[in-house]
């Protein structure tokens, strides 16, 4: 064969050596698709330097993919020798955070809770630790800093039979979206998600979360949408109105400050009535 013609033998071979086989077997038995160098050391009994070398060679063979320093994922056999595979993005986000308290939030939680109709291409995670955004193998990970006392309203989402991540529950997802709609596509998209899952929403919990967060804009937006879509009794709405100040705030801070003022909620409704009513057809 001429030297300038590529051969299939030029591709990395997915061969498994005697040292790598027990590691892969144990990880598959654990259903652990994302693992660390420390995991490899514990399973193989090798020193860190030797385990690191083993994983480097496994990466060249397309068996594992390197996500960040000390973090790896198993590459499914059906992907061949895909060296840029990053694994489940929610598990990767959990490992990027490390030991800090965190949960999948905003648009990513909306996707998990089936509150959106379009795929999301950024993974949002809220954490008490300040973490810079980063892109791993084409997937963007963004981290939202929260106060320790705002670490509430979460639940488990099982990614595999053995691996789970924390996510905001339905009501907390709405509340986070109304606090930072720029991370969810805007207030209209949050309202659509609220309407789509209205049968499973607990109005009292929404109000509790809004009050616990202690952000005036969130109380205004929550109350207005609950009343607009007739999703909460007057007693719950009254709890929100009691904490309002005289200042008017925009319904959607991403949009220009224009539109009618609603004295009942101290809101400037800068979203058209047609757009807000269109949510009911979602």
Distance CA 217, CA 267 (A): 8
Q: What per-residue confidence (pLDDT) applies to 99?
A: 86
Looking at residues 100-123, what average pLDDT do you find? 94
pLDDT of residue 78: 52
60-64, long-range: CB < 8 A, 24+ apart: 60/12, 61/12, 61/13, 61/14, 61/15, 61/16, 62/12, 62/13, 62/14, 63/14, 63/16, 63/20, 63/24
Report the interhelical angle of 234-241 vs 216-228 (nearest 10°): 160
Residue 19 pLDDT more than 80? no
pLDDT at 11: 45
Least confident stretch, 31-45, 55-69, 98-112, 184-198:
55-69
Nearest alpha carbon to residue 183 among 76, 106, 98: 106
Identify the pLDDT of residue 52.
87
The stretch 162-187 carries a mean pLDDT of 95
Residue 278: which of 229, 218, 230 has the closest Cα?
Answer: 229
H or E segment and range at residue 24: helix 20-30
Residue 31: per-residue pLDDT: 75
Its pTM stands at 0.75
What does the alpha-carbon distance between residue 70 and residue 98 come to, in Å, rounded to a whole number? 12
- Look at 282 and 131; give whichever has higher pLDDT: 131
Round the average pLDDT of the chain to a whole number and report it.
87
């Amino acid at each position: 064969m001429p030297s300038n013609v590529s051969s299939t033998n030029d591709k990395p071979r997915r061969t498994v050596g005697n040292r790598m086989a027990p590691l892969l077997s144990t990880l598959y038995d654990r259903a652990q698709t994302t693992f660390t160098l420390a995991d490899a050391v514990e399973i193989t009994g090798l020193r860190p330097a030797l385990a690191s070398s083993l994983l480097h060679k496994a990466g060249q063979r397309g068996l594992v993919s390197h996500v960040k320093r000390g973090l790896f994922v198993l590459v499914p056999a059906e992907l061949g020798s895909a060296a840029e595979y990053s694994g489940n993005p929610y598990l990767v986000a959990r490992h990027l955070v490390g030991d800090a308290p965190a949960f999948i939030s905003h648009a990513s939680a909306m996707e998990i809770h089936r509150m959106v109709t379009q795929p999301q291409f950024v993974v949002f995670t809220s954490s008490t630790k300040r973490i810079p955004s980063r892109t791993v193998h084409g997937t963007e990970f963004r981290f939202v800093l929260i106060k320790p006392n705002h670490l509430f309203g979460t639940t488990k989402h099982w990614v595999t039979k053995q691996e789970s991540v924390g996510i905001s529950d339905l009501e907390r997802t709405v509340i986070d979206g109304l606090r930072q709609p720029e991370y969810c596509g805007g207030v209209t998209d949050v309202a659509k998600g609220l309407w789509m899952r209205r049968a499973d929403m607990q109005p009292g919990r929404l109000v509790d979360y809004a009050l616990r967060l202690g952000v005036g804009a969130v109380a205004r937006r929550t109350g207005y949408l609950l009343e607009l879509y007739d999703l909460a009794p007057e007693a719950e709405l009254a709890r929100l109105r009691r904490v309002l100040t005289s200042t008017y705030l925009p319904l959607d801070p991403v949009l220009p400050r224009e539109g009618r003022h609603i004295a009942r909620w101290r809101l400037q409704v800068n979203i058209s009535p047609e757009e807000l009513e269109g949510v009911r057809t979602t």
